[in-house]
Structure 1
Amino acid sequence: MIGLAGVLLALGLLIFLAYRGISVLLLAPAMALLAAIFAGAPLLGLYTQVFMTSAGGFVISFFPLFLLGAIFGRLMDDSGAARAIAQGLVARLGGGQAILAVVLACAILTYGGVSLFVVAFAIYPIAASLFREADIPKRLIPATIALGAFTFTMTALPGTPAIQNAIPMPFFGTTPFAAPGLGILAALVMFGAGQWWLMRRAASARARGEGYGDHADHAPASSPDMRERAAGEGFDLAEIEPMPAPAQPPFLLAVLPVVVVILANLIFSSFVIPAWDTAFLAEPRFGGVGLSSVLGVWSIILALSAAILVLVATNWGRLASVKTSLDAGANASVLPIFNTASLVGFGAVIAALPAFDLVRQGVLGIGGENPLVSLAIAVNVLAGITGSASGGMSIALSTLGDTYVQMGAAAGIAPEALHRITAIATGGLDSLPHNGAVVTLLAICGLTHRQSYGDLAMVAVVFPLLALVVAILAASFLGAF
C-alpha cells in the first residue's frame, strides 16, 4: 500500500506542479523517482535504465514527425497561407456564418498538420473581426477555435498527421488511416454537436440582446505566463509567434500543401510503401521488425516532406527568409517531443514498480470482457491527469499497450479499432481547465476561464466524450470499418 500511495502522490504532484508552470522536463523524472522511493526501488537504475531508455525510444520513434510538423506549421504561418485559408473561407461563407467559418478554417489547418498554437495565433484576429461584425459574443471565440483545432481533426479524422494519431501506430501495427469509418463517425458527432451548441448559444445571446461586448481587441502576443503555461503542454511560443503578415497566396494555392499532406499520406501508406521490398527490416541492424511497425511513421514523414517542398516552391517569394522559418520550426519541435518523452519515461518507471500491478488489475478490470472500454478510460483519465492528450496516451500505451493488443486479439477486436479508440480517447478530459492549450487559448483571446470555459468545455470535453462512447459502441457491434 505504501508503494501505491507513492504512485498516487507522484501523479498528484505532477498535475499540481505542472499547472503551476514547472517544466515537465524536470517534473517527470523527479516524480518518477519519488514514486520509486516509496517502493524502495533502486533510483539510479530506474532513472538510467528505465526512464531514459523509454524516453529515448520515444524520441527515436517520433522526432521526425515533431520536426517536420513544426516546420510545416511555421512555413504555413510565415507564408501567409494560414491566414489566406481563413479569410478565403470567410469570403465564401459570408459573415453570417462566422462561427462555421472559424471552425472550418481551424479544422483545415490542423487536419493539414499545423500546430494548434499556430492556428490560434493566426485565426484569433480574424475571428474577433468576424464576431464583432456579426455581433456574436466574444466569449464564444475560444470554444469556436477549440472545436476546430482541439477535437475531431486532432483525434478522429483518418489520416491526420497529428501526433495523437501517430503514437498508436507502432503499438498496433496500423497506419494513419486506421478504422476510417469509426473516425469519421466520431468526427461527425463532435463537429455536429459542437456546431449545434455554438449556434444555439449565439442565438440565445442574440435573443437576450447580448452582442459582441465592450472589448478592446488586441493582437495576440504571448506573455511570460503564457509561455510558461504553453511549455507545460510542450510548445515554445517564442518560436511560433507569427512574423509580420506577408503578402498572402491565393486561397487555392494556400490550401494545396494541406491537400498534399492528406493525399500523399494516403498514397504512401496504402500503395507506394507496401509495394517496396522491405525484407531488410527483418535484419537485426534494422530492429528485426515488420513493415507494419514503421509503415505509418514512414508515410507521415514522406507526406509532410512532400508538403513542405510544395509549400516552399509555391511561396518562395512570400517567405521573408526560408532559412529563418526552417530554423524557427526546427527549434519549436524540440521542447514538445522532449516533454512528451519525459512523460513516457515517467509512465515506464511507474509500470516497473510493484504497486503498478494493483493499478493494472484495476484498470484492466473496467469494462468486463470489452478491452475498448478499459482502454478508452485509461487513456482519457491519464490525459486529464497530465493535461496532455499525447502525454496521457503515451503513458497508457507504454505501460499497457502490449496487454491491450493481447486482449484485443483474444476478444476478436481488430488492431485498427484499438488504434482509433485510443486516438479518440485522448480528446475529452485532456481539455480540463489546467491544460496548457486551454490556458494559452484563453490568454490569446484576452478572456478568462469564468467568461469562456463553460462553452469550451462543452465542445472540447463533453462532446468528445459523447463521440468516444458512440465510437466504442460502433466498434463493439460492427468492428473496425
Structure 2
Amino acid sequence: MGLVGILLGLALLMWLAYRGWSVLIVAPVAALLAAAISGEPLLAHWTQTFMPAAGRFVTQWFPMFLLGGLFGKLMDDSGSITSIARFLTERLGTRRTILSVVLASAAVTYGGVSVFVAFFVLVPMAKEMFQAANIPRRLMPATIGLGAFTFTMSAMPGTPSVNNAIPMPYFGTTTFAAPGLGIIASIIIFIIGMWWLRRAEAAARRAGEGYDRNSEVSSSINETVRMQATAAGDFDPAEFQHGKHSASLPLFAIAALPLVVVICTNFLMSLVVLPRLDFSFLAKEVWGDTTIGAVAGVWSVLIALGAATLTVVIFNYRRFPALRESLDAGAASSVMPILMIGSLVGFGAVVAALPAFADVRDALLAIGGGPLISLTISVNALAALTGTASGGMAIVLNILGDTFLRLAAEHGIDPALMHRVTTIGAGTLDALPHNGTVLLLLQISGLTHRESYFDMVMTVIVTCIIALAAVLVLGTVFGSF
C-alpha cells in the first residue's frame, strides 16, 4: 500500500496543480494522503517532515529569490529591458525578426532578468515586429521561448537563473559548472531552434499565411494561470502591474550595463575572488559546519545580483517615478514562488520518509547506464509531473542529492558534469502543456495551445532533449570540460 500511496499522492499533486490549485494547499494535502495510505502518522509528517524540509529550502534560497525579484522589477520599471530589446531589434531589422526576438529574449534572461518579467516586455515588442514582417503571430511563443527559457535557463555557463543555481550546494559547484559542455548544448539548442522557426516561417509564407490580429484571445492574467506560473518560476506575475514605469528609456549602454555587471561579478566571485580567501571559520558549528565550496556558488550569485541591482538604481535613479513602490513590488514578487517550490520540496521529503520509497529509490539507482542516466531520468520525470524545472530538481536533489554525489565519486564522475546534466535535464519535459511558464507566455500572447504549442515543443523541448543527449555522450566519453 505504501507505493500506492506515493503514486496517488503524486497523481493528486499533478492533477490539482494542473487545474490551477495553489501548490501551498495541494502539496501538504498530497503528502498527507500518501502518508495516510502508508499508515504513517499524519501530523508528525506535516510538522516534523514536511515543514522542516520546506523551511530549509526557503532559508537557503530566499536571498536569491529576493534579489532576483528586485533586479527584474527595477530593470523593467527603469525601461532598461525595453531599451535593450529595441536596440537589438532595430539593428537587425524586420528581415531578421525571429532572430531579433530570440537574441533579445536571450540577452535579458542571461543577464539575470526573470523570464516572467521579460515576457511582459518581449511580447508587445514581438507583436509589433511580427506584424511589420507579416509573420504568423502563432510563432511568437516558440520564438520567445527559444531565447528566454532554454539555453539561458539551464545550459549557458554563468547564467544566474534559479534552475542553474539549485544544484550548486548539493554538488559543491558554481553556475559555471562544465562550461564547455554548457556552451555546446547552447549552440545545439540555438541552431536547431532557429532552423525550425525559419522553416516554419518559410512554410507560412508559401501558404500565404501572415500576421492575423483578429484571432487574438484575452491576454489578461487570471488567477488560475497566476498560480500555475508562480509555481514554475521565480517571479509572481501579479506584481508586474505594481510600481511605476519610467516615462523615458535609458541609452542601450546604460540599460545593458547591469547585465554585464551580473555576468562579470558572478565570474570573478566564483572563480577568482572567493576561492582565494580564507573561509576556514565556516567549519564551526555556528556557521553550519560547512565549507566555502558548498556556499561559494550561491554567494557569488547573490553578490552579482546585489551589485547589478545597485547599478540599476544608481544609473537610473531619476527615471524611477516611484522607486519605493518598485522595490516593494520586486520584493513581494519573490514570496509566492519560493513558498510554492518549498512546498514541493516538503512533499518530496514526506514521500522520501515513507518506507515504500526505499523500493522507488533502489529502482531509480538500478537503471542501467550509471548515475548520470539515473539522475537524468529522475529530474526529467519529476519536472514533467510537477510542471516546474526548479521544483522537480529541488525534490530530486533534496531526496537523493547526497546519494548521487556519492555515486559520482565512486564512478569517477566530476560533480560539475552532474550539475550540468541536472539543469539541462530538468529543463526538457518541464515544458509540457501544464507548465506555468508555457501557460503564462501563451496567455500574455493572446494565443492558445492549439495555435502555438506544437512549435513550442520543437523549440523548447525537442532542442533541449537533443542537447541533453549530446552532453550525456560527450560527458561519458570525455568527462567534464
Scaled to the shorter chain, the TM-score interval is: over 0.9
CA apart distance, 1:51: 1.0
Question: CA offsets, 1:342-371, max 9 Å, x none?
Answer: 111111111111111111112112233x21
Residue type matched to 1:257 in 2?
Answer: P
CA apart distance, 1:117: 0.9
TM-score, normalization by structure 2:
0.97
The CA distance in 2 between the partners of 1:221 and 1:238, in whole Å, is 11
The verdict on how the C-alpha distance between 1:332 and 1:447 changes in structure 2, with shifts beyond 3 A counting, is same
Corresponding residue for residue 25 of structure 1: 24
**Is the 8 Å Cα contact of residues 19 and 232 (structure 1) preserved in structure 2?**
no
Residue type matched to 2:390 in 1?
Answer: S
* Secondary structure of 1:315's aligned partner: helix
Question: CA offsets, 1:183-223, max 9 Å, x none?
Answer: 11111111111111001100111111111124376995423
* Secondary structure of 2:214's aligned partner: coil
CA apart distance, 1:238: 1.6
The CA distance in 2 between the partners of 1:252 and 1:239, in whole Å, is 27
Q: How does 1:387-398 map to 2 (within 5 A)?
A: 387-398=387-398
* Secondary structure of 1:277's aligned partner: coil
State the number of aligned residues: 479
Corresponding residue for residue 257 of structure 2: 256
Matched, 1:215 2:209: no
Residue type matched to 2:425 in 1?
Answer: A
TM-score, normalization by structure 1:
0.97
Corresponding residue for residue 158 of structure 1: 157
Corresponding residue for residue 175 of structure 1: 174
Residue type matched to 2:442 in 1?
Answer: L
* Secondary structure of 1:294's aligned partner: helix
CA apart distance, 1:406: 1.1
| Structure 1 unmatched ranges of 5 or more | none
Corresponding residue for residue 93 of structure 1: 92
Question: CA offsets, 1:284-332, max 9 Å, x none?
Answer: 0001111111100100010000001111111111111211111100000
CA apart distance, 1:228: 3.6
| Structure 2 unmatched ranges of 5 or more | none
Corresponding residue for residue 422 of structure 2: 422
Q: How does 1:317-332 map to 2 (within 5 A)?
A: 317-332=318-333
Corresponding residue for residue 146 of structure 2: 147
Corresponding residue for residue 462 of structure 2: 462
Matched, 1:348 2:356: no
The CA distance in 2 between the partners of 1:246 and 1:32, in whole Å, is 48
**Is the 8 Å Cα contact of residues 125 and 220 (structure 1) preserved in structure 2?**
no
**Is the 8 Å Cα contact of residues 220 and 444 (structure 1) preserved in structure 2?**
yes
Residue type matched to 1:175 in 2?
Answer: T
Matched, 1:227 2:226: yes
Corresponding residue for residue 337 of structure 1: 338
* Secondary structure of 1:480's aligned partner: coil
The CA distance in 1 between the partners of 2:228 and 2:394, in whole Å, is 20
The verdict on how the C-alpha distance between 1:240 and 1:51 changes in structure 2, with shifts beyond 3 A counting, is same
Matched, 1:70 2:50: no
Q: How does 1:275-424 map to 2 (within 5 A)?
A: 275-368=276-369, 370-424=370-424
CA apart distance, 1:226: 3.1
Structure 1 stretches of 4+ with a deviation exceeding 6 A read: 216-219
Aligned residues with identical type, % of pairs: 53
Corresponding residue for residue 42 of structure 1: 41
The CA distance in 2 between the partners of 1:85 and 1:215, in whole Å, is 29
The CA distance in 2 between the partners of 1:349 and 1:223, in whole Å, is 31
Corresponding residue for residue 241 of structure 2: 241
**Is the 8 Å Cα contact of residues 128 and 217 (structure 1) preserved in structure 2?**
no
**Cα RMSD (Å):** 1.4
**Is the 8 Å Cα contact of residues 147 and 191 (structure 1) preserved in structure 2?**
yes
Matched, 1:133 2:115: no
391-400 vs 229-238, which moves further: 229-238
Corresponding residue for residue 123 of structure 2: 124
Residue type matched to 1:426 in 2?
Answer: A
**Is the 8 Å Cα contact of residues 127 and 141 (structure 1) preserved in structure 2?**
yes
